[in-house]
Amino acid sequence: MLPGVEAVRSLDTVERLRVFLDAGGVVVSTGVLPSLTQDGEDVRAAVERLAEDPHWFHYAGEPSWDRARAAVLQALPGRFHVVAAAGSGQLWSRYGADGTGVRVMLFNDGDDEREVGIVHARERCRVTEWRAVDGSRSAPTPWLTGPVRVRLAPHQVRLLHVEIDGERAADELTLLSGWWFRPVTQDADATCSWQPIMPFDGWQAQGYPTFCGTGEYRIDVEIPDDAVSSDGWDMPCRSVAESDGVPV
């Protein structure tokens, strides 16, 4: 975590951030990005270049704990984790490995139904549920591919065993940062410059308070050499009012 500070101790601090990112680390920063060292040396450009790394997540304000946690977990491919859809109240989750998989406890401490995704790092899995009311266990599900989706009613507890099998699954890259945006205008002679943007916060809160129309988003993606994908890569994007286009 990098709090909003205008100055870092020295150039060595910036270099340590670079080494940390190159080693697969994740940086979450808030507020302003550092622009100077304590000795007055200018590091603005160097820090801004580092912040373009897909594993650097910057928030101009103070992010919610859920958003910061999701950013870090989604930037760590191959790790077992639980991702919850938005809703009121706290979602509690605990999990731990055993001999064949992972035991998971989920508790929806809210008044809304919640959907939860259980993400694992293998080709397939199957799920058994233990019912706390009578101590019985369900039969295992058929073998499933991809994340396991679970629904929880308000104030419901679910106890699951996720048995995982197979080779390491293809890596998933969640593109939360590194995006650029520009408005599309009707004037053929007018050219709007590309500006950095966070895709989930809306452009009205990021420098375009009165703009209403069509916008273009751009991102450069570098796929690691050791990323696993036998069938190539897909880029799924949700449609927004049937107006999205995704050239790749």
Residue-level pLDDT at 176: 62
Sorted by sequence, the CB contacts under 8 Å of residue 55 that are 6+ apart come out as 21, 24, 25, 26, 27, 75
Distances (CA, A) of 201 to 9, 59, 205: 31, 10, 7
Residue-level pLDDT at 134: 87
User: In the structure, what pLDDT confidence band is assigned to residue 15 with cuts at 50, 70 and 90?
Assistant: very high
User: In the structure, what pLDDT confidence band is assigned to residue 203 with cuts at 50, 70 and 90?
Assistant: confident
Take residue 210 and report the two structure tokens written for it.
Answer: 């009165």
Distance between CA atoms of 213 and 137, rounded to whole angstroms? 53
More confidently predicted of 142 and 66? 142
The letter for the amino acid at 129 is E
Place of tokens 């703009």: 211
Look at the alpha carbons of 12, 15, 20, 26 in this order and tell me if their dihedral is positive or negative: positive
Q: Is the model's pLDDT at 114 over the cut of 90?
A: no
Q: Is the model's pLDDT at 63 over the cut of 50?
A: yes
Q: Is the model's pLDDT at 242 over the cut of 60?
A: no
Length of the chain: 248
Which domains can be identified in the chain, with CATH numbers?
Answer: 7-70 (no CATH), 78-168 (2.60.40.1180), 179-218 (no CATH)
Residue-level pLDDT at 77: 47
Residue-level pLDDT at 157: 93
CA 245 to chain centre: 22
User: In the structure, what pLDDT confidence band is assigned to residue 123 with cuts at 50, 70 and 90?
Assistant: confident
Q: Give the pTM.
A: 0.42
Residue-level pLDDT at 94: 86
